[in-house]
Amino acid sequence: MSEDDRNRWDRRWAEQKDLPRSVPSWVAELESEIPRAGRGLDVAAGSGRMAVFLARRGLEMTAVDISPVGLALCREAGRDEGLTVKTLVRDLEAEGLPDGPWNVIACFHYRQPDLFQHLDRALSPGGVVIAEVETKRALERHPQRPGARWLAEPNELLHITKGLEIVYYREGWIGERSLARIIARRIA
């Protein structure tokens, strides 16, 4: 990503007021599928909603994002709950994922296909990936945003998690958003 992207995200996070702290309801419904111990990675973590949720469950969390402002919000959210979340400012396009293996990898609203293709190798045996991305069908209702580059092809999450056991998958219109959601496990 460019320095302009980093600055744009820093501005966006600095302007945020009421940041969501609770985990998405679909993840809460499936939390029995998510490990409670080990190492966790929140990819493109932003303000760290998933990182804090996973730390609360007992995982040793690392949140990675291009925005130092977003990651400062993540650390603050963790401290508010007496949790420690390690943060790492990183350009995932240039540097890829931090070294694993990871027991949980969360990735919400960030799409980088070449990165996703390596998730299975970054997971420890029995580890899970939890992801939610917007799909190209979003352009049917919202043609100007976000850019097509950031939108998943139909069933893309199923293809990039090949070799993993699919625990949960849903794709389609959820409210006003066209989303793909997945929880997939590396077979032990």
State which amino acid sits at residue 145: R
- pTM of structure: 0.90
Q: Encode pLDDT of 139-166 as tens digits.
A: 888 877 667 778 898 999 988 888 899 9
Residue 88, H or E segment:
strand 85-89
The Cβ-side half-sphere exposure at 75, using a 13 Å CA radius, reads 12
What is the spatial distance between Cα 54 and Cα 61, in angstroms, rounded to a whole number?
A: 7
Q: Encode pLDDT of 89-144 as tens digits.
A: 999 889 989 998 999 999 999 988 888 777 878 999 999 999 999 999 888 888 77
